[in-house]
Chains A and B, each alone.
Chain A
Amino acid sequence: MKPIRTLKISISGVRGVIGDSLLPPLLTRFAASFGTYLNSGEIVVGRDTRTSGEMVKHAVFAGLMSTGCQVIDLDICPVPTVQHMVRELGARGGVAITASHNPVEWNALKLIRSDGCFLNSYQAEELLSIYHQGDYKKAREHEIRQVSKNGQGIQSHLDRILENYGPVKRNGRKFKVAIDCCNGAGSLMTPRLLESLGCDVTAINITPNGIFPHPPEPVPQHLTDLCTLVKETGADVGFAQDADADRLAIVSEEGQPVGEENTLALAVKFVLSHEQGTVVTNLSTTRAIDDIAQAYHSRVVRTRIGEVNVTEAMKREKAIIGGEGNGGVIFPKINFARDSMVGIVLVLHYMATTRMSLSTLINALPKYYSVKQTVPCPSFQLRSILKQLRETYSNDELDHTDGLKIIRSDSWAHVRSSNTEPIVRVVVEAKSEDAARAWAKEIISAIGNR
Chain B
Amino acid sequence: MCAAPRTEQVWFDEAMNVLKISISGVRGIIGATLTPELVVNFAQAFGTYLDSGKILVCRDTRPSGAMVRSAVISGLISTGCEVIDLGICPTPSMQLLLRELGAKGGIAISGGHNPEGWNALKFVRDDGIYLNALQASELLDVFHQNEYSKRPWNQLLPVQKRSDAIDQHLSRLRENLQVDSIRRRRFVVAVDCCNGACSEITPRFLEELGCKVVPINDSGSERFPHEPNPTPSNMQQLRALVKASGADIGFAHDADGERLGIVTEKALSLSEEYTLAILSLIKLSEKAGVVVTNLSTSRAIDEIAARYGGSVTRTPVGQAYVAETVKEMGAVVGGEGSGGVILPEIQFSHDSVAALGKILEFLALRHCKTSDLAGSVPEFHMVKRNLEFSLSAIFAIIQELRTSIESEVQRGEIDLSDGIKLSRPEGWIHIRDSNTESMIRIIAEAKESVQAESLANWAQARVRMAGARMNDR
Stretch of A21-29, A254-262, A320-328, A387-395 lying at the B interface: A21-29
Contact of B31 among A57, A62, A138 (CB under 8 A): A138
- Asked if B39 lies at the interface with its beta carbon under 8 angstroms from chain A, I say yes
Q: Is the CB of A28 within 8 A of B31?
A: no
User: Counting chain B CB atoms within 10 Å of each CB, which of A20, A144, A146 scores highest?
Assistant: A144
Judge whether A50 is part of the interface by a CB distance below 8 angstroms: yes
- Interface residue? B150 (CB, 8 A): yes
Interface size on B, residues (CB 8 A): 40
Of residues 122 through 171 on chain A, the ones whose CB sits less than 8 Å from some CB of chain B are: 138-147
Q: Closest residue of chain A to B68, judged by CB? A: A62
Q: Do residues B63 and A63 form an inter-chain contact, with CB atoms below 8 A?
A: no
Pick the residue among A25, A58, A104, A139 that contacts B73 (CB under 8 A).
A58
Whole-angstrom distance between the Cβ of A303 and the nearest chain B Cβ: 33
Question: Which residues does chain B contribute within 8 Å of A32, judged by CB atoms?
Answer: 36-37
A32 vs B63: C-alpha distance when bound (angstroms): 17
Measured between beta carbons, the chain B residues less than 8 angstroms from A27 are 74
- Interface residue A51 (Cβ < 8 Å from any Cβ of B): yes
**Most chain-B CB neighbours within 10 Å: which of A20, A24, A58?**
A24
A144 with B71: CB separation less than 8 A: no
Chain A residue at smallest Cβ distance from B117: A141
Task: Give chain A nearest CB distance to B242 CB in angstroms.
Answer: 30
Q: Is the CB of B154 within 8 A of A51?
A: yes
Q: Among A25, A105, A146, find the residue whose CB has the most chain B CB atoms closer than 10 A.
A: A25
Contact among B41, B74, B154 with A55 in the assembled complex (CB-CB below 8 Å)? B74
In the complex, chain B residues whose CB is within 8 Å of the CB of A65 = 36, 66-67, 70
Give the Cβ gap from B15 to chain A, nearest Cβ, in Å: 11
Contact mask for chain B residues 425-458; partner A; CB cutoff 8 A; 1 contact, 0 none = 0000000000000000000000000000000000
B71–A28 touching, CB < 8 Å:
yes
Could you tell me if A138 and B32 are in contact, using CB atoms closer than 8 angstroms?
yes
B384 interface hit (Cβ, 8 Å)? no
* Interface flags, A34-78, vs B, CB<8A=1, else 0: 000000000000000011101111110111011000000000000
Contact A66 B67 (CB under 8 A): yes
A54 touches B158 (CB 8 A): yes
Residue numbers in B under 8 Å from A52 (CB-CB): 153, 156
Chain B nearest Cβ from A391, distance in angstroms: 43
Interface of A is mostly: helix
Chain A residue contacts of B75, Cβ below 8 A: 24, 59
Check if A18 sits within 8 Å of B70, measured CB to CB: no
Does A29 lie within 8 Å of B37, measured CB to CB? yes
- Picked from B30, B67, B153, the residue with its CB within 8 Å of the CB of A61 is B67
Complex CA gap A312/B116 in Å reads: 45
Is B287 interfacial (CB-CB < 8 Å)? Answer: no
Contact between B70 and A23 (Cβ–Cβ < 8 Å)?
Answer: no
Q: Which residues of A contact B41 (CB under 8 A)?
A: 25
Q: Which residues of A contact B12 (CB under 8 A)?
A: 140
Contacts of A54 in B (CB 8 A): 73, 77, 156, 158-159
User: Shortest CB–CB separation between residue A62 and chain B, in angstroms?
Assistant: 4
Chain B: CB-nearest residue to A139: B31
Chain A residues within 8 Å of B78, by CB: 19, 23-24, 55
Q: Report chain B residues within 8 Å CB of A66.
A: 35-36, 67
Q: Which of A19, A57, A144 contacts B150 (CB 8 A)?
A: A19
Assess A141 versus B74: contact at CB under 8 Å? Given A18-B152, A54-B159, A62-B36: no
CA distance A105 to B75 in the complex (A): 18
User: CB-CB < 8 A to B67: which residues of A?
Assistant: 61-62, 65-66, 144
* A141 x B36 contact (CB < 8 A): no
In chain A, what residue has the closest Cβ to B146?
A: A25
Contacts of B144 in A (CB 8 A): none
Residue of A nearest to B12 (CB): A140
Q: Which B residue's beta carbon lies closest to that of A145? A: B63
Q: 7 tightest CB-CB pairs across the interface, nearest first?
A: A62-B71, A19-B152, A140-B31, A58-B74, A65-B67, A62-B36, A55-B77
Additional pairs, 9, CB under 8 Å, beyond known A62-B68, A147-B66: A20-B150, A24-B44, A25-B44, A28-B71, A54-B77, A55-B77, A59-B36, A61-B70, A66-B67
